[in-house]
Chains A and B, each alone.
Chain A
Amino acid sequence: MQPILIISISIGYVALLFFIAWMADKREAAGKSIVKNSAIYALSMAVYCTAWTFYGSVGRAATTGLGFLPTYLGPALLAPVWWLLLKKIILISKSQRITSIADFISSRYGKSTFLGVIATLVAVLGIIPYISIQLKAISSSFDLLVGEAATSHADVPFYLDTALYITIALAAFTILFGTRNLDPNERHGGLVAAIAFESLLKLVAFLAIGLFVTFGLYDGFGDIFNKGAAVPSIRALFTLESAGLNGWEWFWLLFLSMSAVMLLPRQFHVAVVENTNAGQVSRASWMFPLYLLLINIFVLPIAVAGLMMFPEGGVEPDSYVLSIPLAAGYETLALFVALGGFSAATSMVIVAVIALSIMIVNNLVLPGIVRNQDFRQDNPYSINTSLLGIRRICIVLVLLLAYAYFKAVGEQYSLVSVGLISFTAIAQFVPAVLGGIYWKRATKKGAIWGLSIGFLIWAFCLPFPTLVETGLVNDRVMLEGLFGWGLLQPYALFGLSGYSPVANAAFWSLALNSFIYIVVSLNTQQSPLEISQADLFVDIYKYRSGGSEYEVMRRRAKVRDIRILMNRFLGVPRAQSLLTAYENRHRVDLSRQQTAEANLINYAETHLAGAIGAASAKIIIGSIAKEDPISLEEMFKVLEQTKEIVEYSKALEKKSAELERTTLQLKQANEQLKELDRLKADFITTVTHELRTPITSIKALSKIMLDNRNMPEEQRAEFLSIVVTESERLTRLINQVLDLEKIQSQPEDLKLEPLDLAEVARQAFNGLRQLMRDKGIVPELIIKDAPVPVYGNFDRLTQVVVNLLSNAIKFADDEKGQVHLRCYQGAKGGYIEVQDNGPGISPRDQELIFEKFTQISDSDKGKPQGSGLGLFITHTIVSQHQGRLSVESAPGEGATFKVTLPLYTEQPGHTVQPSLQ
């Protein structure tokens, strides 16, 4: 076949892929994404099936019989629990905007930069052999097609090596595919569509050759196996034991493939990072195993047919799928099959290299670059462009490394054995990832130590011996052990021998990895950030709706700085739309804010993490934010508080009931205050009104006298006497208002002392006796000789008696006035009674008379003289003595006012507190 034909077809195929990717991107932009289809998702996961599957399975089957199977059995066995495991990883990754498996591990353990570096190194070094076998598969299929089967790539100078040009072409292809733009979420819809197409193509191609061999060259499955069974060496293949596979080996192969299908960087990329909807996992978990079944159906028939067609050897079993149609003269079919192999290899290379380049940039390169940079300078150039440049360089470097490995060792090993080296490396992630999503106690140090030790054992047990065989390292190590220690033989580590190198390496590396991971975790402390990340990862279902419930860092940053960072790392349009989305969701106007709240900082960090990885995002945000880490104590306090919420809410209920009561009391108090205020205002209005009345008479009459110099003497005398009376009234009013003010506002001035109430009554009576006589009233004082001891203020109590007597005098009968004053000691206290024989007080009025300015008018006598304050003052004073003032009266039968005061007993400490009425 002409090389030019093969190259043209390959280029045509690549162009088709680009077209598919372009279409998918276009549809996605139009909102009609095909990538959201579960079948596309499952097909994209079939990137698991590489050239290893396409060519290597048949090769493996031809040498070890069923030995090819565990690689596919493992994923198929695991698929039923994907909805649990994979879905959880997807949800975590979406919430944290994880960009790669290394990012996932770094993010889980406190966004550790160091752990990100280690995980990246494990992934890159682990995958390079795997990529190299794809190069090998492509170049050897090319060689086969052009008929140069015998040439060895190791012998030709590199510039004549087709594999190098294939590598370069692949690099260009990958760059074109994976780094057209820097998607903030590392999602490439077009890429996924192209990968899905490639998966479909390789399946169709493999089924085509399978059908051709089984039903074209032979007469169905029975025919092939019957004819094959006739050959003893072939019959031997169909037993597990003779294939060198026992339970131990199978266990490790199953385990490795199970971890690979989820944790290989490219698998993680298509299954997690490119995932658009966690719900797709459910359908993929039966579609993907179905795909594996289909692509494996014809492996054994092809292998048997190959063994029968090329019994003398000379044809590599890995190339049977091509050699058979070529030998049978079906060149077009061979070309189509080669295209399937090409698609299997290219899809793996593209996705793997993109995933690795993301990892290298985000976890190796960026943390170093951003650590000491100040991004606050408002640089109009987005860092996007330079990131893409770095990523392109990474792609080229990874592929060249793979080519170098291929040149050095790849050719001497079968596809499957080299692939398993990579599987074992990737399996080192298992403890850190599984523990990371199910075990909160796992610490960063545990992950670092476990991963490092596991990786070193892997490196020593698997890639290292391959270097020995190429002559790069002295082969004495293989037999005598490292440094001459027998225990350190790569293929028989710690004296364990008798198993395949892969099973051995997997056992030791994973056993020690897990053991150290657990022991170190149990003996180290987590930082607050680790605790919160652990919480988020393990309890992702709890946190799905929002971020972490509690803050780990109290961070402060300027809104302006955050805007600049987002502009530079996400591009201005994307940053702007994200910030607008934030403003809408939180109903804030960021242009008015100086300082960013914690929410905004977390938001920015998560979205930056989507572009540059969690560790780098943390560093960049750290460069603009002041951090006050919350101490462990505070953290525990927060956690305890959460536990206490139940008790707290109970207490809260109680409190709220109390609060209600208090509110009611306050409301009442407020009402009372308002009422008091209103009363005060009324009081002032009334007082001023009361003052106006005497002033009116005084003013009017004085003016009359002033204007009428020659008025009769008697009239002048009458007017003058009115002026004097009204002036006295005015004075009395003023005095009483002042009295009242004093009594009400300064009750603490009230000095109480033991005194004889009878003496008070006697003095007050004597003071008014003359007045009563002048008015023709018959006064009577009824007291006994015995003193009536009460505790009180002499002057105030005198005022009480005088007020009551004055009232009695005022209302006593005009003709035969009688006023009786009694003072006596009763069972319940000391009593003062003032009785008159006036008109009496109606029951309705009895309720009013103790109020301020209440003056009971009499239809005959009109308004009584007085301020209306007397009884109110009296009542106030009595109350302040903790006494009682009451009235007994009926209309026409006079009135009796009665004061009751508590008796004074000479008990020590007995005091009567003035009441604050």
Chain B
Amino acid sequence: MNKQTTKVLLVDDEPHILVALEYLVKQEGYQVFKASDGESALDLVQQQSPQIVVLDVMMPGIDGFEVARRIRNTPEHQDTRIIFLTAKGTPADRFQGYATGGEVYLTKPFDNKELINTINEVVEFG
């Protein structure tokens, strides 16, 4: 799959984390979009139909779980793959993450390589 044409949406309310994420994903060759809250994330999903969404959970306004749920409930975005990247790490949180339609659940602080590998794998194997 061509990485240049693969759209990755990064969602986090911490601008500095977004900076790091953007650098890493862009360096890997993907097309990057950014959002710092759930509302704008959903707008971008609607506009760009990204293949991958890297999603934070604790955000002002609509939280990450709700964003995931709404994406899953939209028929045209059934193929969008969601990777949770959050500081919430309890088993209950993980369960909720998978329940709302997340593909992978990663916790902060994350490992750069692991994150990129995960994105690559999801892109490659769907």
Contact = CB atoms under 8 A, between A and B. Distances in A.
A704 B23 contact: yes
B13 A862 contact: yes
B19 A699 contact: no
A696 B14 CA distance: 10
Interface in B1-25: 13-17, 19-21, 23-24
A704 B20 contact: yes
Interface stretch (B46-54, B66-74, B75-83, B104-112): B104-112
Interface string A658-702: 000000000000000000000000000000110011111111110
A700 B58 CA distance: 19
A722 interface: yes
Contact of B109 (A696, A704, A857): A696
B89 to A, nearest CB: 9
10 closest A-B pairs (Cβ-Cβ)? A857-B60, A700-B20, A697-B16, A692-B87, A696-B108, A696-B109, A699-B109, A689-B87, A703-B112, A722-B16
A704 B87 contact: no
A863 interface: yes
A719 interface: yes
A328 B13 CA distance: 140
Contacts of B87: 688-689, 692-693, 696
B13 A700 contact: no
Interface string A718-752: 11001001100000000000000000000000000
B120 interface: no
A774 interface: no
Contacts of B61: 857, 859
A707 interface: yes
Contacts of A707: 112
12 contacts: A695-B108, A696-B14, A696-B20, A697-B14, A697-B19, A699-B110, A700-B110, A701-B19, A701-B23, A703-B112, A726-B16, A863-B14
A704 B17 contact: no
Contacts of B58: 689
Interface string B16-56: 11011101100100000000110000000000000000000
A707 B111 CA distance: 12
A862 B58 CA distance: 13
A861 to B, nearest CB: 10
Interface of B: 13-17, 19-21, 23-24, 27, 36-37, 58, 60-61, 87-88, 108-112
A700 B14 contact: no
A862 B20 contact: no
Contact of A700 (B24, B27, B37, B88): B24
Contacts of A859: 60-61
Given A704-B24, A707-B112, A863-B60, A696 B36 contact: no
Contacts of A719: 19-20
B95 to A, nearest CB: 17
A700 B112 contact: yes
Contacts of A695: 108-109
B108 A693 contact: yes
B16 A725 contact: yes
Q: Is the interface of A mostly helix, strand, loop or mixed?
A: helix
Given A699-B109, A704-B20, 14 more contacts: A689-B58, A692-B108, A696-B17, A696-B110, A697-B17, A700-B24, A701-B19, A703-B112, A707-B112, A857-B60, A857-B61, A859-B60, A862-B60, A863-B60
A469 B36 CA distance: 136
B110 A693 contact: no
B120 to A, nearest CB: 16
Interface of A: 688-689, 692-701, 703-704, 707-708, 718-719, 722, 725-726, 857, 859, 862-863
Contacts of A725: 16
Contacts, number: 67
Contacts of B110: 696, 699-700
Nearest to B115: A700
Nearest to B58: A689
A312 to B, nearest CB: 127
B35 to A, nearest CB: 11
Contact of B37 (A701, A718, A862): A862
Contacts of B20: 696-697, 700-701, 704, 719
A589 B46 CA distance: 78
Interface centre among A688, A692, A693, A718 (most CB of B within 10 A): A693
B15 to A, nearest CB: 8
A700 B60 contact: no
A695 B17 CA distance: 10
A695 B108 CA distance: 8
A564 B83 CA distance: 82
Contacts of B111: 703
Nearest to B85: A696
A494 to B, nearest CB: 106
Nearest to A707: B112
B19 A693 contact: no
B108 A863 contact: no
Nearest to A718: B19
B106 to A, nearest CB: 11
A126 B41 CA distance: 119
A732 to B, nearest CB: 15
Contacts of A693: 14, 17, 87, 108
Contacts of B21: 700
B23 to A, nearest CB: 6
B62 to A, nearest CB: 12
B27 to A, nearest CB: 8
A862 B35 CA distance: 11
B21 to A, nearest CB: 7
Nearest to A703: B112
A59 B38 CA distance: 129
A694 B37 CA distance: 18
A857 B63 CA distance: 13
Given A689-B58, A689-B87, A692-B87, A700 B36 contact: no
A770 B27 CA distance: 40
Interface centre among A692, A707, A718 (most CB of B within 10 A): A692
A832 B20 CA distance: 42
Contacts of B112: 700, 703-704, 707
A699 B21 CA distance: 12
A725 to B, nearest CB: 7
Nearest to A691: B87
A718 B15 CA distance: 13
Contacts of A718: 19
Contacts of A722: 16, 19
Contacts of A708: 27
A688 B86 CA distance: 13
A719 B13 CA distance: 18
Nearest to B20: A700
A692 B90 CA distance: 14
Nearest to B36: A862
A706 to B, nearest CB: 9
Nearest to A700: B20
Contacts of B24: 700, 704
Contacts of A697: 14, 16-17, 19-20
A719 B18 CA distance: 12
B20 to A, nearest CB: 4
B19 A692 contact: no
A82 B117 CA distance: 108
A716 to B, nearest CB: 11
Contacts of B17: 693, 696-697, 700
Nearest to A692: B87
Nearest to B18: A697
Nearest to A685: B90
A707 B23 CA distance: 12
Contacts of B23: 701, 704
B46 to A, nearest CB: 19
Given A700-B24, A719-B19, A689 B88 contact: yes
Contacts of B14: 693, 696-697, 863
B110 to A, nearest CB: 7
Given A692-B87, A700-B24, A719-B19, A863 B13 contact: yes
